[in-house]
Amino acid sequence: MIMVLAVFAILIFYDVRKFIRTKEPVKVFAIYACFMATSLIVSLLLAAGRKPPGPTQWIEAILNIFGVAS
Protein backbone atom coordinates (compact mmCIF):
# COMPACT_ATOMS: atom_id res chain seq x y z
CA MET A 1 0.00 0.00 0.00
CA ILE A 2 2.61 2.48 1.06
CA MET A 3 4.86 1.34 -1.73
CA VAL A 4 2.08 1.90 -4.25
CA LEU A 5 1.39 5.36 -2.93
CA ALA A 6 5.07 6.21 -2.94
CA VAL A 7 5.58 5.06 -6.50
CA PHE A 8 2.57 6.98 -7.69
CA ALA A 9 3.64 10.06 -5.77
CA ILE A 10 7.02 9.98 -7.46
CA LEU A 11 5.54 9.45 -10.90
CA ILE A 12 2.92 12.16 -10.56
CA PHE A 13 5.35 14.62 -9.04
CA TYR A 14 7.81 14.03 -11.82
CA ASP A 15 5.31 14.42 -14.63
CA VAL A 16 3.28 17.27 -13.22
CA ARG A 17 6.38 19.29 -12.49
CA LYS A 18 7.32 18.90 -16.13
CA PHE A 19 3.83 19.90 -17.27
CA ILE A 20 3.80 22.99 -15.13
CA ARG A 21 7.20 24.02 -16.36
CA THR A 22 6.14 23.74 -19.99
CA LYS A 23 2.73 25.34 -19.26
CA GLU A 24 0.56 22.63 -20.72
CA PRO A 25 -3.09 23.27 -21.62
CA VAL A 26 -5.80 22.00 -19.30
CA LYS A 27 -6.70 19.01 -21.45
CA VAL A 28 -3.31 17.48 -20.93
CA PHE A 29 -3.83 17.70 -17.20
CA ALA A 30 -7.32 16.31 -17.57
CA ILE A 31 -6.29 13.27 -19.58
CA TYR A 32 -3.29 12.71 -17.39
CA ALA A 33 -5.36 12.93 -14.24
CA CYS A 34 -7.92 10.57 -15.72
CA PHE A 35 -5.35 7.84 -16.39
CA MET A 36 -3.46 8.30 -13.19
CA ALA A 37 -6.53 8.40 -10.99
CA THR A 38 -7.88 5.18 -12.48
CA SER A 39 -4.51 3.52 -12.11
CA LEU A 40 -4.13 4.70 -8.55
CA ILE A 41 -7.58 3.58 -7.47
CA VAL A 42 -7.24 0.18 -9.09
CA SER A 43 -3.78 -0.41 -7.76
CA LEU A 44 -4.84 0.59 -4.27
CA LEU A 45 -7.71 -1.85 -4.47
CA LEU A 46 -5.37 -4.54 -5.75
CA ALA A 47 -2.88 -3.79 -3.00
CA ALA A 48 -5.67 -4.07 -0.48
CA GLY A 49 -6.47 -7.49 -1.87
CA ARG A 50 -9.87 -6.55 -3.30
CA LYS A 51 -9.66 -7.14 -6.99
CA PRO A 52 -12.43 -5.28 -8.74
CA PRO A 53 -13.97 -7.07 -11.72
CA GLY A 54 -11.60 -6.29 -14.53
CA PRO A 55 -11.83 -5.82 -18.28
CA THR A 56 -11.62 -9.55 -18.84
CA GLN A 57 -14.87 -10.05 -17.00
CA TRP A 58 -16.55 -7.20 -18.84
CA ILE A 59 -15.44 -8.52 -22.17
CA GLU A 60 -16.61 -11.96 -21.25
CA ALA A 61 -19.98 -10.57 -20.27
CA ILE A 62 -20.31 -8.58 -23.48
CA LEU A 63 -19.33 -11.51 -25.60
CA ASN A 64 -21.82 -13.66 -23.76
CA ILE A 65 -24.56 -11.22 -24.68
CA PHE A 66 -23.67 -11.70 -28.31
CA GLY A 67 -23.38 -15.36 -27.62
CA VAL A 68 -20.03 -15.92 -29.29
CA ALA A 69 -18.00 -17.18 -26.39
CA SER A 70 -18.84 -20.63 -25.19
Partner 1 sequence: MEKARISSIQLFLLLTGFLFGNTLILAPAQGAKNDAWLAILLGGAGGALLMGVYAAIALLNPSKTLAEILKEKLGKVGGSFVTILDIWYFIHLASLVLRNFGEFIVTMTFLETPMAVVIGLFAVILVYLVNSGIEVMGRLSELLVPVIFLVVFIISLSLITVRDFTAFFPVLENGMKPVLNGAFALITFPFGESVVFLMVFPHLNKKERLKKVVPASAALVTFIILLVFFRDIFVLGSDLMVRSTFIPHLTSLLLPGFNVEPLIDITLMIGGGVKCSVCIYAAARTLCQIAGIGDYRKLTGAISTFCVVLSIWVYANVLEMFNFSENLWPYYSLPFQIVIPLLLLLLSFRKKSSQSNERAKSQKGKDAAKAY
User: Minimum Å distance from CB 2 to partner 1?
Assistant: 14
Cβ neighbours of residue 32 closer than 8 Å, sequence gap 6 or more: 15, 16, 19
User: Minimum Å distance from CB 5 to partner 1?
Assistant: 13
Q: Which is nearer to partner 1, 5 or 60 (CB)?
A: 60
* The one among 6, 9, 20, 59 contacting partner 1 by CB under 8 A: 59
Angle at 9 between CA 4 and CA 11, to 5 degrees: 95
Stretch 15-54 residues interacting with partner 1 (CB under 8 A): 15, 18-19, 24-25, 27-28, 31-32, 35-36, 38-39, 42-43, 46, 51-52, 54
Cβ neighbours of residue 47 closer than 8 Å, sequence gap 6 or more: 1, 3, 4
